[in-house]
Amino acid sequence: MKTTIQEQDGNVVAILEGSLDTAAAAETEKAMDPLNDVEGKDIIIDCTDLEYISSAGLRIFLGILQNVEEKGVHVYIKGVNAAVNDIFIITGFSNIFEFI
Amino acid sequence: MKLWVLAAILTICGTTGLMFTSCQSGARKSSSPEATDMITAASKAKDNERVLSLADSLEKAGKISKGESYYWQGHAHYQMGQREQAKSLWQEAIKVTENSTDANDLVYYAKSASYLTSQLCRYAEYAAALYTALPVINRLEKIECDTTCDYTNLLVFAGCCKAYFDKKDSTATDMLERAYRLHTDRIRQNASKKAYRDAMVGIINIAYIWNYVRGYEEGLTWTERMGDLMKEYKTLFADDENYIDKQWARYLIFYATSLEGMGRHDEAERAYGEYLQTRFSNTREGWTDANDYLTVANRWEEAADNYSSILEYLQKDLSVYSLDNIQRYLLKKYRSHQMLDQEELANMTARQICEVLDSAITNNRHLDASELQSIHERDMEIVKAEASSARQRQIYTGLVVAILIIAFTIYTVFRHRANLKLRKAHEELKVAYDQLEETTAQKAAIESDLRIASGIQMGMLPEKFPTRAERDDVQLYASLTPAKEVGGDLFDFYFRDEKLFFCIGDVSGKGVPASLFMAVTRSTFRTISAHESMPDRIVTIMNKTIADMNKNHMFVTLFVGVLDLPTGRLRYCNAGHDAPLLVGAGIGELPCDSNIPVGFMPTWKYSLQEAQIFTGTTIFLFTDGLTEAMDADNAQFQMERINDVASRALANQQQEPHQLIDQMTDAVHQFVGDAEQSDDLTMMAIQYIREQSDVLMRKNIVLANDTKEVPKLQTLVDEVCEAMEFDEKTSMQMRIAIEEAVVNVMDYAYPPGQRGEVTIEATSTDGCLKFTIIDSGKPFDPTVQAAVDTSLPARERRIGGLGIHIVRQMMDSINYERMDNLNVLTLKKNLK
């Protein structure tokens, strides 16, 4: 599982590649921690190459969102595949994140 | 009935009373003509005393009206020269008749007014005359009695008075012309003596007044009219010599006077000459009238001579001079002498006047006084008469009122008594009605209670049972036949996570309270078993909950069972209820601890029991409504019979739930016969029919309770999915479901830090794929976790619970069992 954080067009982009299962969760969480400090910009989580996500991964996303929401920062999810989208829908996370 | 009689009596009394009072008031509506004739005759005969007495007595006898009486009295007094009395009586007459509408009254109203006015005019009381005449004229005109003779006369007098005050007054002329027209109309209608004579009187008066006020032109006109009338009269009634002579003479004198006044001396003289040829000219009256002309013509000598003649004549007749005579004659004589410069004669006359004036005045005063006294006496009489008649009226009114009061009292008394009787009857009726109402209300209350209770009970029970097609692991059926008075039996079942939760119970008591208690019991069962899979835990918590809120000291016997469908393992807890029957290889009772009914003691700890149900066995549950069903002889159905029926059913291969219950029902009905059902009859039958399918594939793996091991898990899942030939999507679903379930176990099964093992086994049969996750940690049932609310916004989302939620969504069923100190979590995916 690979996590890369970049700045793109004035936004902070987190590129996730691989399977975000429970085993990989701890490591990914650490890697995505800087996103909690974003201010004045929007966050885009790029899931184009994300094959799989478990509830542990969802928890990471939720954590980030709850932290930056009050700062007015938007969190966008980009490029989810069918399986991942399913998970989002089932858990209702599709209602709390914005997708692009 | 009595009412009408009383009312009739009242009416009669009232009317009679009123009649009496009206009779005595004297306001009689019509005079008798004989009476009037009597008086008229007396009057014509100039028997004034008789007229007076007749008028009085006839009035008292009710033969003539008050108005007529007063009129005649006035007339008589006038004839007797008692002017004041006449005046007063005629005024009375007018007063008592002026507001009447009776024809008779109006005649005397007009007559009295006419005579009174004429008298007033005669004595030059022109203002009083006008004052009297005008209201009468107005009233007569208003009620349209304005063609009578008397009315015409009134017009004449009123007109003359007006002319006297202002000879240019046009209303005077109008009135006089109108009067003339009325007279001529009357003559035209009926050329009778009376008509002519009446007309003459009127015209003479008019002519006289015009001459008197020196309106000689008008005087001439009227005199000429007078002349025309006389000519006509002469032709018609030639034999009425005296009258013709007199009137003709007067005409001539008036004629002469008018002519003289207008300066036509010669014509006047000629007329006077003619006059002297009449017989009338030689009478006292004639001399008086002649002087009217002579004074106008300034022929004073002749006038004086006339006056002397008059006075001589008078001295013979009269013993005493009255003011009237003095004015009429002595004063005029004196003036004549004066005009003739006959100083000596004038002085003589003056001395004469002085002599007689004193006594005349005294006399007049006496006359006045005596007249006044008479008037006063008469007034007193009238007042007394009025008073007495008023008193009489009062008496009669009093009588009538008394009669009315008596009648009313009698009526009231009768009414009162009737009322009392009625009220008593009413009271009795009311009491009876109240009793009836109470009874009815009670009955209604009971019935409605029963309806409510029944409604509650039946509404609480499950109605649909799964069919063979729906479930291949268990069949069940139940029936509840309520007694007339709701007994509070209950049963319930539902499926959750591959387990069948069921219960059966019997609430103590009856009616609405029992049915409510039953409702509470059922809902408590459902609520608690949603989070508890162990029957003892379920019952313990139910007991605490219900006992805490149980003020009425009700209780419920209960049997709670949880049948694990994959394995056939039955866990149960009995709380004072009848032990169920197991109908399988044989007939046997399920061993039950009795414990105590639910609702008694909040702190009681209930015991858990277990049994293995083999495929094909039916669990038969019931309430004491079955065992204690009574026939007409109060004999009970009892356990033996139940066993018998069950044995028979078993023998006939009819132990399917529906069949079994039907058989039992029939047997009870037969037994009970016509006797009334005393308690609810409740039965439930659950048959375990699960067949063990052949296992087609089996794989397993053992992991340590470390999430780092998850990739190994994934490998297993992938292998399985491949073997099952799942598509990508399904494989993904399986992957996440298994991962979440296993991670859940890893996180919670063992105390933190303690190392433990988790076994994951995958098996497939024809119908489904099964993943079983087993661990030896503390008892942990992931299926009882609270559901996740996926609709909450980010801020409110909780981190936990997602895992199980995902598992439930992805898998077809999730089942937890605690078996031999092991947590066994089974996830199933159906393949068909």
Residues in chain A with CB shorter than 8 Å from the CB of B800 are: none
Cβ contacts of residue B353 below 8 Å, gap of 6+?
Answer: B326, B330, B331, B334
d(CA B132, CA A85): 126
Please give the pLDDT value at position B9: 65
Q: Are B336 and B345 in contact (CB under 8 A)?
A: no
pLDDT digits over A46-97, tens only? 999 999 999 889 989 988 988 888 888 889 999 999 889 988 988 888 888 8
CB-nearest to A55 from B729, B735, B740 is B740
| Predicted local confidence at residue B26, as pLDDT | 40
Residues of A in contact with B711 (CB under 8 A): 21, 23
Interface check for B732 against chain A (CB to CB < 8 A): the answer is: yes
* Side chain identity, residue B556: V
Residue B443: which residues within 8 A CB-CB, separation 6 or more?
Answer: none
Q: Are the Cβ atoms of B797 and A96 closer than 8 angstroms? A: yes
User: ∠ CA B632-B634-B636 to the nearest 5 degrees?
Assistant: 110
Give the mean pLDDT of chain B: 84
**Percentage of the residues of chain B whose pLDDT score is greater than 90:** 22
Give yes or no for residue B28 having a pLDDT over 50.
Answer: no
The whole-number pLDDT of residue B573 equals 96
Hey, are the CB atoms on B707 and A65 less than 8 Å from each other?
A: no
Confidence at residue B21, expressed as pLDDT on a 0 to 100 scale:
43
pLDDT, tens digit, 9 for 90 and up, residues B600-648: 888 889 999 999 999 989 999 999 989 988 888 888 888 999 999 999 9
Residue % of chain B over a pLDDT of 70: 93
Q: Which residues of B touch A90 (CB under 8 A)?
A: 790, 805-806, 809-810
Which residue has better confidence, B788 or B404? B404
Q: What is the ipTM of this complex?
A: 0.90
Check residue B24 and give its pLDDT.
36
Strands B822-830 and B587-589: unpaired
pLDDT tens per residue across span B82-102: 888 888 888 989 888 888 888
> What tens digit of pLDDT does each residue of B737-761 get?
999 999 988 888 888 888 889 999 9
Distance from CA of A76 to the nearest CA of B (A): 14
Residue B682 has pLDDT above 90, yes or no: yes
Does residue B823 surpass a pLDDT of 50? yes
Tokens for B443? Answer: 């009955």
- Is the CB of B733 less than 8 angstroms away from the CB of A86? yes
Q: In the prediction, which pLDDT does B754 show?
A: 85
| Mean pLDDT value of segment B503-532 | 87
pLDDT for position B12: 65
A-side interface with B, Cβ within 8 Å? 19, 21-23, 25, 52, 54-56, 58-59, 62-63, 65-66, 69, 82-83, 86-87, 90-92, 95-96
Tell me the CA distances in angstroms from B756 to B688, B751, B759, one per residue in order: 35, 9, 10
pLDDT exceeds cutoff 50 at B22? no
Give the pLDDT band of residue B500 (cuts 50, 70, 90). Answer: very high
CB–CB contact B809 A96 (8 Å):
no
Q: What tokens were used for A74?
A: 């938007």
Confidence of residue B651 (pLDDT cuts 50, 70, 90): confident
pLDDT band at B23 (very low <50, low <70, confident <90, very high): very low
Name every chain A residue with its beta carbon within 8 A of the beta carbon of B733: 86
Contact B708 A82 (CB under 8 A): no
Q: How far is the C-alpha of B556 from the C-alpha of B682, rounded, in Å?
A: 14
Give B531→chain A minimum CA distance, Å.
21
Tokens standing for B455?
């409604």
pLDDT at B152 over 60: yes
Closest CA to B507 of B556, B455, B552: B556
| Chain A residues within 8 A of B748 when measuring between CB atoms | none
Chain A positions in Cβ-Cβ contact with residue B793 (cut-off 8 Å) = 95-96
Strand partners, B506: B489, B557
pLDDT tens digits, A19-42: 999 989 999 999 999 888 888 889
- Angle between helix axes B728-748 and B710-724 (nearest 10 degrees) is 150
Task: Give the pLDDT confidence of B412-465 residue by residue, as tens digits.
Answer: 999 999 889 888 888 888 888 888 878 877 777 777 777 777 777 777 788 888
Partners of residue B764 on adjacent β-strands: B697, B769
> Which of the residue ranges B363-367, B415-419, B700-704 would you say has the lowest mean pLDDT?
B363-367
Q: Mean pLDDT throughout B787-812? A: 79
**Beta strands per DSSP E along B364-507:** 474-481, 489-496, 499-507
User: What pLDDT, on a 0 to 100 scale, did the predictor assign at position B368?
Assistant: 67
pLDDT band per the 50, 70, 90 thresholds, residue B693 = confident
Query: Could you read off the pLDDT of B224-247 as tens digits, one per residue?
Result: 888 888 888 888 888 888 888 888
Band the pLDDT of B30: cuts 50, 70, 90: low
Is residue B742 helix, strand or coil?
A: helix
**Min CA distance, A52 vs chain B (Å)?**
8
Compute the average pLDDT of residues B286-297: 81
* Residues across chain A: 100
Are A96 and B708 a contacting pair at CB < 8 A?
no
* pLDDT tier, B314 (very low <50, low <70, confident <90, very high otherwise): low
Q: Across the strands, what pairs with B680?
A: none
Is B709 part of the contact surface with chain A (CB cutoff 8 Å)? yes
Note the pLDDT of residue B753.
82
| Best B797, B798, B805, B808 residue to mutate vs chain A (most A CBs within 10 Å) | B797
Q: pLDDT tens digits, residue range B186-220?
A: 888 888 888 888 888 888 888 888 888 888 888 88
Is it the case that residue B353 has pLDDT exceeding 70? yes
Q: Report the C-alpha gap between B800 and A91 in whole angstroms.
A: 12
What's the one-letter identity of residue A20? L
